[in-house]
Amino acid sequence: MSKISEAHLPALPFPAAAIQAPDGSLWRNWQIQPADGPNGKDRKGVALAAFDTGAKPFSQGDKSTDQATVLALAKEIDQLQNLLYADGRFKLLLILQGTDTSGKDGTVRGLFSQTSPLGVHTVGWKAPTETERDHDYLWRIHQKVPGAGEIMVFNRSHYEDVLVPVVNGWITPEQTRQRLAHINDFERLLAETGTVILKCMLHISKDEQRLRLQERVDDETKHWKFSLGDLAVRKQWSEYQRAYENLLEATSTPWAPWTVVPADSKTQRNLMIATLVRDTLKNLGLRFPPADPALAGLKVT
């Protein structure tokens, strides 16, 4: 990614605190600091091995307590979503990326179990259709970004287009760099027009993935989740890790930074992301619209 001078950083319509982890916070240790920003200028690339997949930075030490906290956060997110919709100035795009079995579906269930479906929408991105392939690769993505007051969750995302084609050698290194630049520009457009982008890479170990895949094989009720193709992709584990490192390095920007979420523990994963979503919404300075003076003293009969 080309360097961006401080003078050319975008003027975001929402507080930077909504997306940038503050110094000394638990979040800060897991957020990829943008290489173009003052805190990332000395970073020597991104190494996923430096992030412990089994860590539980947001845990209170007891699983049942953590689960209760997730539920409480889900209820708080519901209240904040209502305020986000009433305010109408911003949109929230939550991007969940991760290898097979990293828990993207479970995260959606855990975070939004208490939220009205009227204000939260989810897209599970699959391989592009023939019509979608007739357009540029971001065409289908742009149609699904959130509207004013909405929360949109991407289960996988446009980042698949710099993962699968890269690992399988379908695009050249130059095309990869071009796509990464496209994505940065696309997300900058969204951010400058009021979309708050929260990007989470669900980080599990290879051994944890083995256990989860085996569980799907052993449990007949989970066979529908398993494909023999999952085993072929698993053989490319190292290649996918390198592709993730490359995209994290290139696309963690001041307007849309990445957070690596340790996800060997499902409860910890949900707790961390729920906390980030809650804090992001709280830091937007949301407010209800001014009271309508025409309603003063009105009595409904």
3-class secondary structure for the chain? Answer: CCCCCHHHCCCCCCCHHHCCCCCCCCHHHHEECCCCCCCCCCCCCCCHHHCCCCCCCCCCCCHHHHHHHHHHHHHHHHHHHHHHHHHCCCEEEEEEEECCCCCHHHHHHHHCCCCCCCCEEEEECCCCCHHHHCCCCCHHHHCCCCCCCCEEEEECCHHHHHCHHHHCCCCCHHHHHHHHHHHHHHHHHHHHCCEEEEEEEEECCHHHHHHHHHHHHHCHHHHHHCCHHHHHHHCCHHHHHHHHHHHHHHHCECCECEEEEECCCHHHHHHHHHHHHHHHHHCCCCCCCCCCHHHCCCCCC
pLDDT digits (tens, 9 = 90+) for 102-118: 999 999 999 999 998 88
Chain centroid to Cα 66, Å, comes to: 21
Confidence at 37, pLDDT banded by 50, 70, 90: low
| Per-residue tokens: 278 | 């809650």
Judged against a pLDDT cut of 60, whether residue 46 lies above it is answered with: yes
Query: Is the distance from CB of 244 to CB of 48 less than 8 angstroms?
Result: yes
pLDDT of residue 41: 52
pLDDT digits (tens, 9 = 90+) for 221-247: 999 999 998 999 999 999 999 999 999
Confidence at 5, pLDDT banded by 50, 70, 90: very low
Q: Residue range 170-198: average pLDDT? A: 97
Lowest mean pLDDT among 44-48, 97-101, 163-167, 175-179: 44-48
Contacts of 14 (CB under 8 A, 6+ apart): 89, 90, 194, 196, 284
**Dihedral sign, Cα of residue 39, residue 41, residue 45, residue 50:** negative
Query: Is the distance from CB of 156 to CB of 125 less than 8 angstroms?
Result: yes
The average confidence (pLDDT) of the chain is 93
Angle between helices 63-87 and 104-111 (to 10 degrees): 70
Query: Is the distance from CB of 209 to CB of 100 less than 8 angstroms?
Result: yes
Judged against a pLDDT cut of 70, whether residue 6 lies above it is answered with: no
pLDDT of residue 99: 95
**Closest C-alpha to 280, from 93, 75, 126:** 93
pLDDT of residue 60: 92
pLDDT of residue 22: 92
Confidence at 45, pLDDT banded by 50, 70, 90: confident
Confidence at 24, pLDDT banded by 50, 70, 90: very high
Q: Residue range 66-78: average pLDDT? A: 97
Determine the Cα–Cα distance for residues 214 and 150; give it in Å rounded to an integer: 37
pLDDT of residue 10: 76
Q: Residue range 199-224: average pLDDT? A: 96
pLDDT of residue 96: 98
pLDDT of residue 207: 97
In the block, which residue shows the tokens 């959130």?
A: 146
Contacts of 249 (CB under 8 A, 6+ apart): 1, 32, 35, 45, 46
Contacts of 109 (CB under 8 A, 6+ apart): none
Strand partners for 93: 152, 197
Judged against a pLDDT cut of 80, whether residue 133 lies above it is answered with: yes
Q: Residue range 128-143: average pLDDT? A: 96
Whole-structure pTM value? 0.93
pLDDT of residue 244: 97
Lowest mean pLDDT among 90-99, 112-121, 271-280: 112-121
Contacts of 252 (CB under 8 A, 6+ apart): 31, 32, 33, 34, 35, 40, 46, 199, 258
Order of all β-strands in the sheet with 151-155? 31-32, 258-262, 195-203, 91-98, 151-155, 120-124
Judged against a pLDDT cut of 90, whether residue 1 lies above it is answered with: no
Confidence at 282, pLDDT banded by 50, 70, 90: very high
pLDDT of residue 9: 66
pLDDT of residue 116: 86
